[in-house]
Amino acid sequence: MRVLRCFSHFCTLEYPTVVFICSCLCGAPPSGLSFVNFIFVFIQTCCHPLCSDFPPSAQYRRLFLSELIKQVRTVAQVIGAAETSHCYKSYFLPGGGAVTLQENVAVISEGTTGLVTWEAALHLAEWALENQQYFTNRSVLELGSGAGFTGITICCSLAPSSFIFSDCHPKVLHKLSENIALNQLDPQVRVEELDWSCVTEEQLRAVGADTVMAADVVYDPVVVEMLVSLLCRIFAISSPDVFICSTVRNTDTYRGFVQRLEHVGILHEVLVKNARGSEYFPYPLYITLYDPM
């Protein structure tokens, strides 16, 4: 039996005002920060070694300091650094340590969207940490790995027996390899060029996997067609557990994906998370889960 498990969440187009929260560091102040607390927050964030070694984008730092200044009211700090084409983003893991990625600042750059981390990747990584049985001591294949966040998180936290990152864009593969090296992953990790439109049966057999996963790959009807075709070929060779996590930006596109699965006879289960459980990673709270069925 071929079963595909899908995650989906609906993304609104209206972005809420950013709310600065410092309660995790020094307690929520009733009205502004004292100077002492400001220094503590500043040292624990802007002066943190992780931020110094792998700085976020200048835009993010300006926004963070702007919100911090609003809390202090009497203290100001100016970042004069010019924005660069890339930056570092770091995510602390619940078991200790952190995943650090180099990403492009622009969402679309160099002809691809694969040089940044998308919300669905954060959600899938969070789900994986809560469902370790599908990843620990198993061979895992990730389709469309992009910047590599989900896979690197799994490799750092869940000890798969082997892990194959895959993508097709040369720039993405290069950035992906850099991020894997940056996080010092074990040798059993591999990066493969996998073009869904022309992948061979020999490639798929050589890859082999107990678990196949992908995040934010259901965004275009042409891509959906190639993805479903690839899944059919994978299921013809073996019977892995397959997990697809998607941000539903266009309900017609997502509905088309579901219909294609039904057309080719791939059974699927929509795993809906109505309320957030563990909040490990900062995918936006204004995103809710959407069940298209």
8 A C-beta contact, residue 134 and residue 126: no
- Give the model's pLDDT for residue 139: 96
The model's pTM is: 0.71
Residue 235 makes CB contacts below 8 A (sequence gap 6+) with 2, 266
- Give the model's pLDDT for residue 35: 54
Establish if 122 belongs to a structural domain. Answer: yes
Structurally, the chain folds into a number of domains equal to 1
pLDDT digits (tens, 9 = 90+) for 216-248: 999 899 999 999 999 999 999 999 999 998 888
**Span 33-44, average pLDDT:** 63
- Give the model's pLDDT for residue 152: 96
Distance CA 266, CA 104 (A): 36
pLDDT digits (tens, 9 = 90+) for 64-112: 777 777 766 554 444 445 566 778 888 888 888 889 988 877 555 444 4
**What is the CATH classification number for the domain harbouring 244?**
3.40.50.150
User: What does the CA dihedral 176, 181, 183, 184 come to, rounded to 10 degrees?
Assistant: 140
Residue closest to 114 by CA, chosen among 56, 57, 175, 59: 175
Establish if 179 belongs to a structural domain. Answer: yes
Establish if 41 belongs to a structural domain. Answer: no
Residue 194, pLDDT above cutoff 70: yes
Establish if 199 belongs to a structural domain. Answer: yes
pLDDT digits (tens, 9 = 90+) for 119-134: 888 889 989 998 999 9
- Give the model's pLDDT for residue 120: 86
Residue 145, pLDDT above cutoff 90: yes
- Give the model's pLDDT for residue 108: 53
* Token pair listed for 244: 């697809």
Establish if 159 belongs to a structural domain. Answer: yes
8 A C-beta contact, residue 121 and residue 88: no
- Give the model's pLDDT for residue 240: 94
Residue 161 makes CB contacts below 8 A (sequence gap 6+) with 137, 138, 139, 188
Stronger pLDDT, 201 or 54, i.e. the higher one: 201
Establish if 272 belongs to a structural domain. Answer: yes
Establish if 79 belongs to a structural domain. Answer: no
End-to-end CA distance of the chain: 20
pLDDT digits (tens, 9 = 90+) for 15-24: 332 333 333 3
- Give the model's pLDDT for residue 163: 97
Establish if 201 belongs to a structural domain. Answer: yes
8 A C-beta contact, residue 190 and residue 164: yes
Domain boundaries, position 175: 3-13+95-289
8 A C-beta contact, residue 255 and residue 262: no
Stronger pLDDT, 184 or 188, i.e. the higher one: 184
